[in-house]
Amino acid sequence: MVTRGFFSGRKPPTDADARIPPGQYLEQGFPVLSAGPTPRVRTEDWSFTLKHGPRPIKKWNWTEFNALPLTKMTRDIHCVTAWTKFDTAWQGVLVDDILAGAGIEPPTAFTLALSFDGYTTNVPTKDVTAGKAMVALLYEGKPITPDHGGPARLLVPHLYFWKSAKWLNGLQFTERDEPGFWELRGYHIYGDPWREQRYAGDP
Amino acid sequence: MSDGPAAQSPWQTVTITGIEKRTPRVTSFFLQPSRSFAYRAGQHVDVRLTAPDGYQARRSYSIASAPESGETIELAIEKLDDGEVSPFFHEIAAVGDEVELRGPLGGHFVWSDSDGGPLLLVGGGSGVVPLMAMIRHRAARKSAVPAALVFSARVWDEVIFRDELIGLDDRRDGFDLVLTLTREAARRPVDYSRRVDAAMMVQSMARLPAPPRLAFVCGSNAFVSAAAQALIDAGVPAGLIRTERYGV
């Protein structure tokens, strides 16, 4: 349906077009969204736990976690509120390297990201392994600010950005695909921006 | 929390049935859905505009009306000079025009009378919109839940829904309005003339018969960060605070 009197003044250049998923617009800033107040997690209080169901597999403190191999990842990110930001530059520990650090193979097909504030989000394990996702510790070379999920956030750039949980403190392998915080509140279980899977019921 | 998954509806065409200027920068648009549209106070919708060449722009807007208010829904839209959807509404949209809408959306920043209280609402600028839906819902239900709104605006004439809010405050039915103006002197004895802070939150909470059981904070990111921190400093547990942030 064409809207009377609306014209595409903001249409991005064609070379950028192919990088913007359907229904998204290009954002230069870095908007902040969250369901509650920003937790201030000190690195001396920070820890990261890998779990299989309720059972902890391995736990790292900040220093131990930072000793894992660091990888750089520069990716476009897509928020379900319709902004897309190009070339965000992160550095952190690949989930693959966390698994290697724990000496295990992924034990189940699904993963739940766990945060300090109780936030959770679910992703298939194959979407966070094989170099696809990391626990980010730096943004543009600097510690991630609390607003953007510091000290550490998950980065799963090929899915809508609510999957990239802020204030991460663990990953839990689950037998079933267990819906997380927003997935229980009407958002899509998988969240592929290229298929525009914003809300439950989207194809 | 008991928020169930919202059944998500596809896009629908809605007709603009009314336009009402609220403040110099905020105008309300009343929309008539073509299909039934049941929502909860605090939810938002996505609005989509389509250009003749197929280009589409979509933005999210909170619903200002109460679920009890009848067929039409009210969106109070602030004009952003560098925006692409809000200037369309402010400069072009007319009664009778159609736009596309999807929703209602969001299952977290919502409040129903049955959720109880006391309820503390903190809004900055157009962040008052979803809180207004809660306040109107409370009034429509003749709810006895104690509620207070702390509403920060730059100046008196930018207090969205000002007359309606003052009218609800005057009922003395358990709803209290506290205004704070950041660029003008306070007009009423209970009001402030500064940015929100912990002392203001302590004093505003003292207007409730008991500490809040739920707090909703909405506004720009900078406002929400400051207001949520003020609430925490005033002793409100972080787990009771729900936030919604606009923009960059």
pTM, 2 dp: 0.90
Which of A1, A4, A6 is the best mutation test for B, with the most CBs of B within 10 A?
A6
Phi (first) and psi of residue B91, to 5 degrees: -105, -25
Sign of CA dihedral B145, B218, A34, B207: negative
B7–A201 CB contact, under 8 Å: yes
Residue pLDDT, tens place only, B142-152? 999 999 999 99
Between chain A and chain B, how many beta carbons pairs sit less than 8 Å apart?
A: 118
Cα distance between residue A85 and residue A66, in whole Å: 27
Say which residues have a Cβ less than 8 Å from residue B20's Cβ, sequence separation at least 6: B27, B28, B30
Structure tokens at B120: 């503390």
Query: Residue A162: which H helix or E strand, with range?
Result: none
A29–B248 CB contact, under 8 Å: yes
Residue A6 is nearest to which of B50, B106, B248, comparing CB atoms?
B50
Structural domain boundaries, residue A71: 46-195
B84–A9 CB contact, under 8 Å: yes
CATH number at residue A149: 3.90.420.10
Alpha-carbon torsion, ordered A120, A124, A128, A130, to 10 deg: 170
Do the interacting molecules here have an ipTM over 0.85?
Answer: no
CB atoms under 10 Å from CB of B35, counted, come to 9
Of the pLDDT bands very low, low, confident and very high (cuts 50, 70, 90), residue A31 is confident
A35 within some domain: no
Residue A31 is nearest to which of B4, B241, B247, comparing CB atoms?
B247
Alpha-carbon torsion, ordered A47, B226, B84, B153, to 10 deg: 160
Q: Which of B193, B143, B200 is nearest to B168 (CA)?
A: B143
Which domains are seen in chain B, by residue range? 12-105 (2.40.30.10), 113-246 (3.40.50.80)
A180 contacts in chain B (CB < 8 Å): none
Say which residues have a Cβ less than 8 Å from residue A104's Cβ, sequence separation at least 6: A50, A57
Which of A11, A160, A185, A187 is the best mutation test for B, with the most CBs of B within 10 A?
A185
> Is residue B2's pLDDT more than 50?
no
B66-B71-B75 Cα angle (round to 5) = 55
A67 within some domain: yes
A1–B238 CB contact, under 8 Å: no
B238–A39 CB contact, under 8 Å: yes
A129 within some domain: yes
pLDDT at B4: 41
The mean pLDDT of B153-181, rounded to a whole number, is 98
A37–B56 CB contact, under 8 Å: no
Q: % helix / strand / coil in chain A, to the nearest 5?
A: 15, 35, 50
Longest dimension (CA), chain B: 57
B245–A39 CB contact, under 8 Å: no
Residue pLDDT, tens place only, A172-184? 999 999 999 999 9
- What's the first-to-final CA gap in chain A, in angstroms? 21
pLDDT at A13: 63
A52 within some domain: yes
> What value does the mean pLDDT of chain B take?
94
Tally of structural domains, chain A:
1
Q: % helix / strand / coil in chain B, to the nearest 5?
A: 25, 35, 40
Q: Are B105 and B113 in contact (CB under 8 A)?
A: no
B5–A7 CB contact, under 8 Å: no
Cα distance between residue B143 and residue B167, in whole Å: 16
A24 within some domain: no
pLDDT at B91: 96
Using DSSP bridges, classify how beta strands B214-220 and B241-246 pair: parallel, antiparallel or unpaired.
parallel
Structure tokens at B248: 């960059």
How many angstroms away from the CA of A183 is the closest CA of chain B? 8
How many angstroms away from the CA of B93 is the closest CA of chain A? 8
A120 within some domain: yes
A22 within some domain: no
A71 within some domain: yes
Structure tokens at A202: 């989207």
